[in-house]
Structure formats: structure tokens, C-alpha cells
Structure 1
């Protein structure tokens, strides 16, 4: 009996402290016209100062500029509630960066807070329609085009319309729609995030983050409209979500100077212990991007049970700076990729792994210990593994892979190229190259097992062997099922050049070796 009484007292105490703060009680008006920034911020501040609880957004459309969550606040949007970004850039908090001048935060900027959440079945809307020229496509510069197979016709839209975009931004525009910076114990659950003008949800230098059951839909024509960006954060779970983004759907990167946030003390902090599971993804760039100009390490990434459809690039791992990228497992994934028109990074590769200089000053890090298992792919370009003398890719395995290469109506304007953008050599941004089913160079410890490759009946002449591996050490190819492209039937399925240490269960009719020991 004493135990029951004690529990009842504890429940009463919890009920008395976990209060609900309705923004309407603070003067917020759901008329789609009134700017409610001050009223909403008052509710947040009051909630946090009194020990925490729920800030409640009832049904209706509430316009706002930048607001900041505080400790122990659950920002909850009811069904039918819409928090919409103001059309006036002056309603957002501004900040100045030496490199870029004056910029503006988006709807949420939460810094150095604990036990914070955004929940509910409502919607956060970035109001992208007022910050872009929807009749004008952003073009690829002529210098970049000059090394492609198609030159100035690269990714050109024959009708002169928008094609796949991207549309042209009207600057200044709000930046990250939702930022959590140096926060601990963050939850984002069940919410809909839509129409962002830049990155949608940015997790920066945080620890202990759960993103679950969300719908994140940006306009597929909008550049920089990433879904979720996790930078230099640890212990992050992204699960059970539907993410459709104009730019990268999910990006996992070490912190770098390009995305520094004012008020954010620079730390030497790795991005580590990230789980991505049970999600549907779509992107006009990379569905999952790991790495870029990483000054810190990226490691311990688990990706499983993912559908990637209608995307420009499937899973991309990019090393361009001093941080290492290591310990990555990708399993039980379906990937469907296609060629695009317009100035999007990527060129239809289901899997892209590259290590090439982007920072002209740093000593390059390394990609190592990456495993792909039980992957089904359909794509309009081959898989790419692109190491360099400065950074050899090590200990990479592909096991139980089924890859069906498909013909593309855009081969004439986009096919037969490799896209390594985000690196420092102008001749290696986008350049013409033959396309095997899988191309690898500068690799050590590459293992390919139970790999099945299918071609359509006809392909352009730039599609060649099934597998090409150049400049390797310790290569294993077993249980392979496939042949060269139907456009090059005289080629052997597998071509190897400049290697040491090769094991296979295949015969000489399948493999051609040139300077392989």
C-alpha cells in the first residue's frame, strides 16, 4: 500500500510540472497573415523557465520567423497545425559570416539545449515558393561542361524548359529550416517537414538524437534543399521515415568550414555512431551522402532496410579532406537511379565511392572498411570506386549484389561521364569516360562475391566490360555472373590492369589481365 501511495505522489508531481503551453494563450493567431514569432517564443521561454513541458500548436496556419527551443521543451504540432515561414526575409534572425556576408536562419535555431523535441502530426513549411525563380533553371558553367562527352550540350533540355531543374534561388533566402546545434537528447518524431529553401533538418555537433516516423518532402526542383544533414554529431538514429529531397536526402559528414554556424564553438569532433534504417528515400542528388570536405572523421555508420527510388545517385561516399571515413555497413537496400538534366551533382550511379583532393592544403584522409551486402540495384550508369595515389581506398567488399543496368533516354546528353564534383582539379569535375558495370581504381583489399550483372539488349558504345579494376592490390572476385555490354560483345567480362595479388574462381575466357602479378 505504501508503494502504491508513493507512486501516486510521483505521478501527481510529474503532472504538475509537465504543463502544456498553448501558443494562442500568448497571442498567436492562426490566420496565415500575422507574424507570430514573438508570441511563440514567449510560450517556449515560459515553458522552459518553469521546468519544461509541451508548447502546443493547435490546428491552423501560423506564420513565423526564427524561433529557438529551450531546455525540456516538446514543441508539438497538432493534426492540421502548420507553422509556416514568413515570406519576408527580415522576419528571420540574421548572422554574418566572413566568407558569405549576411545570411539568415530558417524557422528554428536551437543552440546548446537539452531534452528538446519537435513532435506531432502537424507540418512545418519553409514557404519555398517565394524564394525561387520558378521559371529559370540553374545552369552548369561552361568550364565544367568542357570536359564532358557532350561539351556544351551536357544535360541540356531540348525544349528549353526547366527539365529536372534546379530552379534559380532568389537571394537572400532563409538557410537551414530547422537547426539543432550542440544539443543533447533531441527527438524529432512524426512531424511533416516541407518546402524548405535550403537544408531542411540540420543536426550539428549534437549527441543522442532520434529522428523517427517523419515525412520530409522538399520540392525536387529546389537546389540545396537537403533532407537531413548530420554534421559532427554522435549517436544518431534516423528511422521509419519518408524523405524526398531536391538535394541529398540524408548527408552524414564531419564538420567543415563551409557550414560553420555563428555562435558555434569549433570542436574537433568526429561524426560517429549513426544508424539509418527502415526508410524510403528519393533525391535529385545523393539519396545518402557520406562525407565531403571533412576535417573530422566519419565512422561507424550502419545503413539497412532502405528503398532508394527515382534518384540521381544512390549511396555516395566522398573523401575530399583530412578526415577518415571508416566502418560503414550497408545491407538490405534497393537502389534505383537515373540520369538527370540540369546542375545536379551525380550521374546516375547506384553506388559511388571516391577519394580525391578537394582541400588544396590538407593531407588527405582515407576511406576504409566499407561493406555492401544484399543490394539490389537498377541504374542508368555504372558503379564507381575511384581512389587516387594520395588516398587509396582500402578493405571494401561487395557481397550478394544484383545490378541491372538500364538504358536511358538521356544517354545522348548525359551518358558516358564520371562526376567527381567537389574536388579541386577542373579536369576531374565531370569528364568523359567509358562505363563498365563496375569501375574501380587505386584500391587495396577489394572483395567482390556473388555479383550478378544484367544488361538490356542494346546499349551505347561507351558501355564496356562488366567489371574493370585498375591499379589494385589484393583483389578477389568470386561467384560472378555476367558479361560485357551488348555494345561491346568482343570484350571479356572482367578487365584487370596493373595489380598485385588476385584471386578468382573464374576462367580465362572471362578475365583479361594486363600487368597483373
Structure 2
């Protein structure tokens, strides 16, 4: 009974105090009237066992699971619940307003039989669209929970990949195997906490999706060839955070016209590459606070033919045991790039790419992953690798910057590699530039060709074992500012720096960390306005040598 002398009505604060515990017990927040409590609606739960799913790992539960999804969607939305058990299934279609919840003890296991899979209805054909779970034109779709989606991909291994690499064009490729997840033209898609493993093909393919949020997902995908992690094509407003990816092929491929993408606080390992970009209009992408380890085939790889690529930022990244470690290749001509539109109107470009706070250790050659059961066929050009910036003819990479970058290389490069002056004009894969004899790049730290607007600030290159190549090669580099460059030298290398037909270069505060034969080799008649202003060069036996028509008028050296 309320004391009438105090108040004829409960105050809002007093009423909230009396109802707050029961309200919370109902399981969520609600809009609460100050004068009358309102009942909180209970979200509908669709337990797949109620629709006939057995969960014994042997009975095929496809029909039952799909029935639960369809019922949830027809009712306007809710949660399809995967309880404890192993639920064997073929192709499933996810739909709008459905939260697909995997309990911690629940596993959705792909059938080992090809007959239990279909192509996704409405998913464009091409590059394989046989699939385990998919959605088309869905909105407000979520996959969540601590459970597992297992593609049973080893059952589809036949020793063949899809043959979509450079020059292969998919000829005689193995496409008839299911991707784990495909989402096509979906909006407000959320993937939280699930463990995804053992796909027969790519793990997650997102095609022309918008507002994508991926958080806390773990991917382990190393049972078949072309075992990608995330594979995006022409998506917008994508945010990936707190994920762990171990796969066999590209860990996070972004093909086509991807825009407004953030990737942060993740760890990655793979045989091939982590962040791979190519084709279309790919713009406004930020990668930060990521760990990359045991990755070969180049962790950050931007390879494009006719593309418009700009405004990429890579910051606070640690790389441990990698090859590459960064490769940007640009030809300005059509390339063999998968996904999305590869052609752009007007002259293509790659520009405004920044690398900040990078720490990397680069191994001499790829090392087999013990948990990948098939041979990986390492390329000659992957040995003794370096950072590669490679454009050609009348095409340039523009406004590329490296700030606070420290890379330790294994070393071991040879004089034969250092003497490679006729570098092939190949951009489809970074290592393809270096595959021809004598193999490997002519620099141990950075090779840059056809770059305009290059900045190096507080960059340090070292090696563990003697390397007979220059630390840096600039070939037709224009408008470069290099400050605080620290390089380990070698008395067996022809020079520490090699500059070919470049102009408007300013070096300040350069440091030679160990003895070298020659500080700078200047080559070619087109060198112009090159300045080396101050630094520590006492460990360089000879300061400059000229060849190929280069002369002293093109260089200003102040020690």
C-alpha cells in the first residue's frame, strides 16, 4: 500500500526501482512508460530439432534446417537455433531477418557428397558458386555463436586447384566443389564469434554486399587448394575486427571495386598472401593493428592491370617469417584479376598508399606449413625477396609513403641477382617479376620502378646474413623525399644505393650501418637533381660511382 501522505503516485525513479529487476529478468531492454509497465516481447526461437533435425552426424538434416530458416523468415524474423550436436547438411539458403545462432556445442557439418549441394539461387555464375550456406538480397542477416561450421572440405580434395593464377585462365580448373559461405547483394550482414573451418573452396565470399560487420570470427581453412579466408568482390562499408585467420590461399582478398573497408585487431597466416587487391575501383581502405606470421607469397599484395586504386592505409602491422613483404605491381593493361569489374574508365592509377609503423622479419624462402598436406610449389622469385614497387612504360605508382618501417631480411642475395638490370615488365604477381634467371630481385630492401611522389621517413633495412645486393634500387623514380634512412651495407655488394634515370630525389640524414664498398651507384643519362644532404657515410669506402652516361652535374653530395 502506497502512503497517500507522501504521494498519490509513484515517482518515476521509485517506479523504475521496483520494476528494474523483473524487467531485466525478461532478457533485454524495453521502452518503459513512466505510468504503466509494458510487457517485453519475447523473440521467437526456432530450434532445428523441433523441425526434425537429428544432430547425430550421420542423418542428413538439410530439409529440417531449411524448414526452420524458412519458418523464421516467414514470421518476420527471429533466431534459428543450432543446439549441441553434429548436424550433417547440404546446401542451405539463409534469409532476411534471420539470426543463425550456433550454440557452443553445435556443429553444422557439410555433407561429403557432391549430390547434396547446389549452386546458390541467384548467385551469379563464375569461379564456382556451388555452396554450403548462402544468401541473396538478404537484409539484417546474422550468423553468431561459439559453435562451428565445418565444410568437410577434405572430402572434395582431388589434387587440383581452380587454375585462376597468372596465365592459367581457369583452364582445367576444379570448380565443382562448395564454398563454405556466399553472400550476394546482402545488406547489414553480421558474422560474430563463429568458428569456420575446412571449406572445400573459399571460406567466405561476399559479393556486392553493404554494411558488413565481422567480429571475433575464427577461420581455419587448410584442407584443399584455393582455401581462401575472406574473399570480397565490390563490397562497401565493410568492417572486420578481432578475427583470427589461418588458411592456405589469400587470407583477405579484395577484388573488384571495394570501398570504405576497415580491418583491425586481427591475426593472419597463409601460404600465399594476406591482403590482396586487384581490379576495379578500389578506394578508401584502412588496415591497422594486425599480426601476420608464417606467410609466403607476399602479405600485402596490390596487383592490378586497368584499375583505379587509391587511399589505402596500412598501420601498426607486425610481420613474422614472411616473404615479400609488400608488393605493388601495376601495368595499366588488362590483367588476370578475379571478381568484380576489372576495367575502369579513363587512365588507370594506383596512388595515395601509406605504410606506417611496420615491423617485419623476412625469410630467405617460403617454408612449408606442417598442417598443409599437399605440395605448394614454391616460385624461384620468392627467394631473397624485397619490397617491390613496380610500374612500367608510361604508368606510375603515385604518392607512396613508408614511415617508421623496420625490416630485417634473412640475406643471402648474390652478385648475380645484383647484376640483374633488365627487369621484366610483369605485374600479375610480385614474384613473377623475379622468376627469370638468375632469379630474385636486384635489391635486398626496396626495389622501386616508375614511382612519382615517394616518401621514406625513418626506414631501416638490415640483414641477418651477408647480402651482395644493393639495399635500394630506384629506377625512374621521381619526386622522392628520403629522411632518416638507415641501411646495412656489404663489402661484396656493388653499391648500397643504386639509382637509375631518376630525378628530384632528396636524401637527408642517411646512415650506413656497416661497411660497404660504394655508397651510391648513379646510372643513366636521365638522372637529374639528386641531392644527398648530410648523414653518416664514414663506413662507405667509396662515395659515388657513375656509369651509363651519368655525370656529376646530376648529383649534389654534402657529407
1:45 to 64, 70, 78: 70
| Structure-2 change in CA distance of 1:456 and 1:275 (3 Å) | same
Are residues 1:473 and 2:478 paired?
Answer: yes
Aligned position for 1:118: 143
Structure 1 residues 379-388 or 242-251, which shifts more?
Answer: 379-388
1:55 to 80, 93, 101: 80
Structure 1 residues 466-475 or 102-111, which shifts more?
Answer: 102-111
1:308 to 292, 299, 304: 292
Aligned position for 1:74: 99
d(CA) in 1 for partners of 2:92 and 2:38? 31
| Structure-2 change in CA distance of 1:104 and 1:497 (3 Å) | closer
Where in structure 2 are the equivalents of 1:223-372 lying within 5 Å? 223-254=225-256, 270-290=257-277, 292=278, 294=279, 296-338=280-322, 348-356=323-331, 357-359=333-335, 365-372=348-355
**Structure 2 unaligned blocks of 5 or more:** 1-10, 20-29, 337-341, 364-384, 513-517, 529-559
d(CA) in 2 for partners of 1:127 and 1:503? 56
1:15 to 32, 35, 41: 41
SS at match of 2:94: coil
SS at match of 1:464: coil
| Structure-2 change in CA distance of 1:438 and 1:240 (3 Å) | same
**Structure 1 unaligned blocks of 5 or more:** 146-167, 255-269, 339-347
The CA deviation at 1:482 is 0.9
Aligned position for 1:482: 487
- Higher radius of gyration, 1 or 2: 2
d(CA) in 1 for partners of 2:105 and 2:190? 21
> Do the aligned residues in 2 keep the contact of 1:419 with 1:430 (CA within 8 Å)?
no
Are residues 1:213 and 2:216 paired?
Answer: yes
| Structure-2 change in CA distance of 1:252 and 1:27 (3 Å) | same
> Do the aligned residues in 2 keep the contact of 1:108 with 1:179 (CA within 8 Å)?
yes
> Do the aligned residues in 1 keep the contact of 2:311 with 2:352 (CA within 8 Å)?
yes
SS at match of 1:48: helix
Aligned position for 2:358: 375
> Do the aligned residues in 2 keep the contact of 1:319 with 1:365 (CA within 8 Å)?
no
> What count of residue pairs does the alignment treat as equivalent?
451
> Do the aligned residues in 2 keep the contact of 1:364 with 1:391 (CA within 8 Å)?
no
| Structure-2 change in CA distance of 1:359 and 1:67 (3 Å) | same
**Partner deviation per Cα, 1:413-455 (whole Å, 9 max, x = no partner):** xxx99995747x9985843343311101010001111111111
The CA deviation at 1:182 is 0.6
Aligned position for 1:400: 404
The CA deviation at 1:74 is 0.5
SS at match of 1:106: strand
d(CA) in 1 for partners of 2:411 and 2:126? 45
d(CA) in 2 for partners of 1:457 and 1:103? 45
Aligned position for 1:265: none
**Partner deviation per Cα, 1:173-219 (whole Å, 9 max, x = no partner):** 11x21111111111100000000111111121111111000110101
TM-score by length of 1: 0.79
2:506 to 496, 503, 506: 503
d(CA) in 1 for partners of 2:162 and 2:233? 28
SS at match of 1:51: coil
d(CA) in 2 for partners of 1:178 and 1:283? 19
Where in structure 2 are the equivalents of 1:123-202 lying within 5 Å? 123-133=148-158, 172-174=176-178, 176-202=179-205
> Do the aligned residues in 2 keep the contact of 1:285 with 1:312 (CA within 8 Å)?
yes
**Partner deviation per Cα, 1:110-160 (whole Å, 9 max, x = no partner):** 010111000000000010111114xx587999x989xxxxxxxxxxxxxxx
Are residues 1:516 and 2:519 paired?
Answer: no
Structure 1 residues 358-367 or 449-458, which shifts more?
Answer: 358-367
**Partner deviation per Cα, 1:337-377 (whole Å, 9 max, x = no partner):** 44xxxxxxxxx201111112344995762110000011001
Structure 1 residues 45-54 or 439-448, which shifts more?
Answer: 45-54
1:491 to 483, 489, 494: 494
**Partner deviation per Cα, 1:315-357 (whole Å, 9 max, x = no partner):** 334343433111011111011344xxxxxxxxx2011111123
TM-score by length of 2: 0.73
The CA deviation at 1:305 is 0.5
d(CA) in 2 for partners of 1:87 and 1:419? 44
Structure 1 residues 464-473 or 475-484, which shifts more?
Answer: 475-484
| Structure-2 change in CA distance of 1:429 and 1:178 (3 Å) | farther
Point out which structure has higher relative CO (alpha carbons under 8 A, 6+ apart): 1
> Do the aligned residues in 2 keep the contact of 1:419 with 1:429 (CA within 8 Å)?
no
| Structure-2 change in CA distance of 1:489 and 1:14 (3 Å) | farther
| Structure-2 change in CA distance of 1:375 and 1:389 (3 Å) | same
